[in-house]
Amino acid sequence: ASAVLAAPALAQSNPKVNWRLASSFPKSLDTIYGGAETLSKYLSEATDGNFQIQVFAAGEIVPGLQAADAAAAGTVEACHTVGYYYWGKDPVWALGSAVPFALNARGMNAWQYHGGGIELYNEFLDTQGLVGLPAGNTGVQMGGWFRKEIKTVADLQGLKMRIGGFAGKVVERLGVVPQQIAGGDIYPALEKGTIDAAEWTTPYDDEKLGFYKVAPYYYYPGFWEGGPTVHAMFNKAAFESLPKNYQSLLRIACQATDANMLQKYDWLNPPAIKRLVAAGAKLAPFSPEILSACYDKADEVYAEMEDDNPTFKKIWDSIKAFRGEYYLNAQIAEYNYDTFMMIQQRNGKL
Amino acid sequence: ASAVLAAPALAQSNPKVNWRLASSFPKSLDTIYGGAETLSKYLSEATDGNFQIQVFAAGEIVPGLQAADAAAAGTVEACHTVGYYYWGKDPVWALGSAVPFALNARGMNAWQYHGGGIELYNEFLDTQGLVGLPAGNTGVQMGGWFRKEIKTVADLQGLKMRIGGFAGKVVERLGVVPQQIAGGDIYPALEKGTIDAAEWTTPYDDEKLGFYKVAPYYYYPGFWEGGPTVHAMFNKAAFESLPKNYQSLLRIACQATDANMLQKYDWLNPPAIKRLVAAGAKLAPFSPEILSACYDKADEVYAEMEDDNPTFKKIWDSIKAFRGEYYLNAQIAEYNYDTFMMIQQRNGKL
């Protein structure tokens, strides 16, 4: 920073920076892929076009699930991705994004921005050669599409489900056979019955893939993604080479982008769910039996990870300490307001 | 903008701008007053200190409830305020902030940022000589502090309550006698019994004024503030005189500030509610009878305003169209996830 201050301030303020960003998402998912475009637009507009980030969709530079690796290696300066994609390398990766039965979007944001979450996660990312900032959230995701009704834990036995990483590890303990299948291959697998179920994201995104035609039972909630954070991650050396005002602008623009993605989902999901139901999707909640069994199995997995991994324990302890308080307070004004408004909706009064 | 482009781009990017902002809030409310300080910090940091906004607390330049007037008149370039403070001039002022039984914070944000809400509200603010951007949200507020239990609509008869503007107009129709009392005068009025009840804001803010000592019944939810937006408003000529990149930066910094305030409340309210209950606050929900009666009276008020005021009708119609869809979708993944987590909390499993 002192070098910047020593030079003429006006001439130095907005130097030319051209970065490349690898997204983990295809362009067709305009909400989540669009987060990186929002960030890029914000940075460009605030600097008269001097700070440019060019966004590349999944597969254009590297495959979507290698976006963070590419940023860490310096192949690109930045990526837009979800931490849990990399949980196989170390489960700590998942804690900055979403883990089963953690916080919803508002709780996750409170913990991140004011509870030290961003700092804790970056202590870990630093060891990976990265700086990460929250830059998107989808809200609670749906539980996915099922060819048949699932009412009890017994119904999960042998169920072949496309479900990823951490969540797969939980439901596996209840007899589910987790499958790793890329987005584009899910529909034919469901249609042929190669798999029995698949989780994807939210109504607006799910609609695009047309799953309701071949697996009409649409369960909720996706208890493994209560409020998943999408991250912008930056090559550490690239981030540190930025002038201080660009580092600050990145933080501000990421916080705005983070909010903007959730705002966009919250605007687009309501009409999407209506269209899906009109097209034949059969909405159904996971039964309390299934949710409780999954919760208990998740706690088993957490206990094992805490034993194995001190960094995991440190961050998960921090989330857990807030989770109890958050869900106590949320029962009061927020829950009662929403419940009353939902009753009005059901009574046709809204 | 063309003038900016014609000059050397680097030298022009971050010109010196020094603005004054009048806050409607006292410094003691660090969450809501702090929003303007966050905005000021973001702008300064992103421009190497070239875009400065100096924040003045309520009363330092003008009284808190005249902040928007001061910005419109050019006494200051900016203010940080809540639209409903000015609803007596025209009820349209309230629609950008909060009106009874409207959207919660996420719904309000979805409508504002992606449903045309910011643009609709600014069509109105433009006629007042202002440009307004959301720059804070408190989440659902509490219903306030009552000296006695209130269980039925009959209990509202003759109740002297400190409650403002629009909400006062609603509860007045059920026999409440609304009182306008400044923040600092509420405690002695409750203590002496000059008033029977008072609404303020959220647990974290309410705790500071110590109402639990003199009016221990702490009702929820504050159905007149489901997700109130705090605005940054700018003198129109001052805003238009900014270079394009500063206008963009203001939008980005306000969106980040907007999110940040809610994040801060969500972090601070949970421990505050625990402290309040430990200190003797008696938490209680408004009864369904009271909420339903208030809802119906609010609808009467809305119908009258729609008849009287075409601009009110235009904006309220836009909110209402989304409100029904929003609260339908919110019943699905979000509500079921939160409900399950709250049951876990009550069962001591979080």
Which chain A residues contact residue B334 at CB under 8 A?
A: 104, 139-140, 221
Which chain B residues contact residue A220 at CB under 8 A?
A: 332-333, 336-337
B22 CA: distance to closest CA in chain A (Å): 23
Residue B8 predicted with pLDDT over 80: no
Which chain A residues contact residue B319 at CB under 8 A?
A: none
pLDDT of residue A164: 80
How far apart are alpha carbons A160 and A154 in whole angstroms? 14
pLDDT in tens, A108-167: 999 999 999 999 999 999 999 999 999 999 999 999 999 999 999 999 999 999 998 899
Give the torsion sign (CA, B144, B147, B148, B154): negative
CB contact under 8 A, A329 and B269: yes
Contacts of A305 (CB under 8 A, 6+ apart): A91, A312, A313, A316
Residue B189 predicted with pLDDT over 80: yes
Nearest CA in chain B to A15: B10
pLDDT of residue B12: 63
Nearest CA in chain B to A111: B267
A74 phi-psi bin (left φ>0, alpha ψ -120 to 50, beta other): left
A24 CA: distance to closest CA in chain B (Å): 24
pLDDT in tens, B73-108: 999 999 999 999 999 999 999 999 999 999 999 999
Strand partners, A198: A145, A162
A198 CA: distance to closest CA in chain B (Å): 16
Helix or strand holding residue A217 (H, E): strand A217-220
Buried b vs exposed e over A229-261: b needs ≥16 C-beta within 10 Å? bbbbbbbbebbeebbebbbbbbbbbbbbbbbbb
Of B267, B335, B336, the CB nearest to A115: B267
pLDDT of residue A6: 43
User: The whole model's pTM is what?
Assistant: 0.96
Q: Where are the alpha helices (DSSP H) in A8-91?
A: 9-12, 32-46, 67-73
Helix or strand holding residue A270 (H, E): helix A244-278
Of A105, A263, A334, the CB nearest to B139: A334
Residue A87 predicted with pLDDT over 80: yes
Which chain B residues contact residue A273 at CB under 8 A?
A: 328-329, 332
CB contact under 8 A, B9 and A326: no
How far apart are alpha carbons A289 and A285 in whole angstroms? 11
Which chain A residues contact residue B325 at CB under 8 A?
A: 270-271, 274
CB contact under 8 A, B223 and A323: no
Query: Pick from B36, B42, B15: which is nearest to B244 by CA?
Result: B15
| Residue A213 DSSP class | G
Residue A233 predicted with pLDDT over 90: yes
- The average pLDDT across B157-166 equals 93
pLDDT of residue A12: 64
Nearest CA in chain B to A248: B46
Which chain A residues contact residue B111 at CB under 8 A?
A: 267
Which chain A residues contact residue B340 at CB under 8 A?
A: 221, 223, 288, 291, 295
Q: For tokens 């939810």, what's the residue?
A: B221
How far apart are alpha carbons A211 and A205 in whole angstroms? 11
Q: Which long-range contacts (CB under 8 A, 24 or more apart) does B121-128 make?
A: B121/B83, B121/B95, B121/B96, B121/B315, B123/B311, B124/B90, B124/B92, B124/B93, B124/B96, B124/B311, B124/B315, B125/B96, B125/B233, B126/B236, B128/B68, B128/B72
CB contact under 8 A, B115 and A267: yes
Which chain B residues contact residue A267 at CB under 8 A?
A: 110-111, 113-115, 322
pLDDT in tens, B268-303: 999 999 999 999 999 999 999 999 999 999 999 999
Residue A7 predicted with pLDDT over 80: no
CB contact under 8 A, A114 and B249: no
B324 CA: distance to closest CA in chain A (Å): 5
pLDDT of residue B67: 97
The percentage of residues in chain A with a pLDDT greater than 90, rounded to a whole number, is 94
pLDDT in tens, A31-71: 999 999 999 999 999 999 999 999 999 999 999 999 999 99
CB contact under 8 A, A267 and B111: yes
Q: Is B158 helix (H, G, I), strand (E, B) or coil?
A: coil
pLDDT of residue A220: 98
pLDDT band at B10 (very low <50, low <70, confident <90, very high): very low
Q: How many pairs of residues across A and B have Cβ atoms under 8 Å apart?
A: 289
Of A270, A295, A325, the CB nearest to B271: A325
Helix or strand holding residue B21 (H, E): strand B17-23
pLDDT of residue B184: 83
Hey, of B141, B201, B266, B339, which one would you mutate to test binding to chain A, going by the most A CBs within 10 A of its CB? B266
Mean pLDDT of chain B: 95
pLDDT of residue B7: 43
Q: Are A335 and B273 in contact (CB under 8 A)?
A: no
A319 CA: distance to closest CA in chain B (Å): 11
Nearest CA in chain A to B333: A221
pLDDT in tens, A99-118: 999 999 999 999 999 999 99
Which chain B residues contact residue A115 at CB under 8 A?
A: 267
Which chain B residues contact residue A342 at CB under 8 A?
A: 327, 330-331, 335
pLDDT band at A98 (very low <50, low <70, confident <90, very high): very high
Q: Is A179 helix (H, G, I), strand (E, B) or coil?
A: strand
Of B42, B113, B263, the CB nearest to A260: B113
Give the torsion sign (CA, B144, B150, B151, B157): negative
Q: Is the predicted ipTM greater than 0.90, yes or no?
A: yes
Mean pLDDT of chain A: 95
- The average pLDDT across A311-323 equals 98
Query: Pick from A97, A223, A227, A84: which is nearest to A165 by CA?
Result: A84
Contacts of A256 (CB under 8 A, 6+ apart): A38, A42, B252, B253, B255, B256, B259
